[in-house]
Chains A and B, each alone.
Chain A
Amino acid sequence: DSGVTQTPKHLITATGQRVTLRCSPRSGDLSVYWYQQSLDQGLQFLIQYYNGEERAKGNILERFSAQQFPDLHSELNLSSLELGDSALYFCASSQTSGYNEQFFGPGTRLTVL
């Protein structure tokens, strides 16, 4: 158990819908990272927040957004969902920004029908 929690575990929804994925980092970690894992793209970095502020963006679509709250939990919002958004979404946390081990949550499996 990494200490990173993610909810929900599974999510099934329809195209065009909007969903919110939630992540609670390890106690004391200030950085939260979101990753997407799909069969064709592999593991892709989406976005990073550090102590409430957006720190870095990766391959995140404009239909996706995220935020980190004062209690350091983070939410990833996915809107106008398409079939191709079906994937595993992981949250990871680390103590500081960059240069450190990142600890991953169990993931949310999103299925878009």
Chain B
Amino acid sequence: SQQGEEDPQALSIQEGENATMNCSYKTSINNLQWYRQNSGRGLVHLILIRSNEREKHSGRLRVTLDTSKKSSSLLITASRAADTASYFCATDAIGGGADGLTFGKGTHLIIQP
């Protein structure tokens, strides 16, 4: 079953603009991770944010986590054509430390040159 739900399902923006994707989840978590997938290829780990963190940065990426609302957002600043991909959030539920990640359906991001 899908724990995370990304919003929007698809997003098309101009190169140089910022892209924001949101993720909502259902159960309490230990951490939340964001991954990128280019067209049917492997998933690339972008960032992990723990449940006691509110914000994390990595290069042009900014992730926020609001555990009271069970939601997270991924902001990509100054987008580039190479950022075109699908983005997934994945959660690691409390009590499920040995379990695999639960993924949302993803946001498909298209950067127009």
Contacts of B90 in A (CB 8 A): 43
Contact A102 B45 (CB under 8 A): yes
Tell me whether A105 is interfacial, beta carbon within 8 Å. yes
Q: How far is the CB of B30 from chain A (nearest CB, A)?
A: 5
Interface size class of A (residues with CB under 8 A): 20 to 34
Q: How far is the CB of B4 from chain A (nearest CB, A)?
A: 10
Question: Interface readout for A73-113 with B: 1 if CB under 8 Å, 0 if not?
Answer: 00000000000000010101000011111111111010000
Contacts of B20 in A (CB 8 A): none
Which residues 84-113 of B have a CB within 8 angstroms of A? 88, 90, 92, 96-106
Contacts of A97 in B (CB 8 A): 97-98
Contacts of B40 in A (CB 8 A): 88, 107, 109
How many chain B residues have a CB neighbour from A under 8 Å?
Answer: 26
Contacts of B42 in A (CB 8 A): 2, 90, 104-107
Q: How far is the CB of A68 from chain B (nearest CB, A)?
A: 14
The contact of A99 among B31, B41, B43, B103, by CB within 8 Å, is B31
Tell me whether A46 is interfacial, beta carbon within 8 Å. yes
Q: How far is the CB of B48 from chain A (nearest CB, A)?
A: 5
Question: Interface readout for B21-33 with A: 1 if CB under 8 Å, 0 if not?
Answer: 0000000001101
Contact A42 B103 (CB under 8 A): yes
Chain B residue, CB-CB nearest to A58: B100
Contact B41 A42 (CB under 8 A): no
Binding site for B on A (CB under 8 A): 2, 33, 35, 42-48, 50, 55-56, 58, 88, 90, 92, 97-107, 109
- New A-B pairs, 17, CB < 8 Å, besides A42-B104, A102-B101: A2-B44, A35-B100, A42-B103, A42-B105, A43-B90, A45-B102, A58-B100, A98-B99, A100-B48, A101-B33, A101-B48, A102-B33, A104-B35, A104-B42, A106-B41, A107-B40, A107-B41
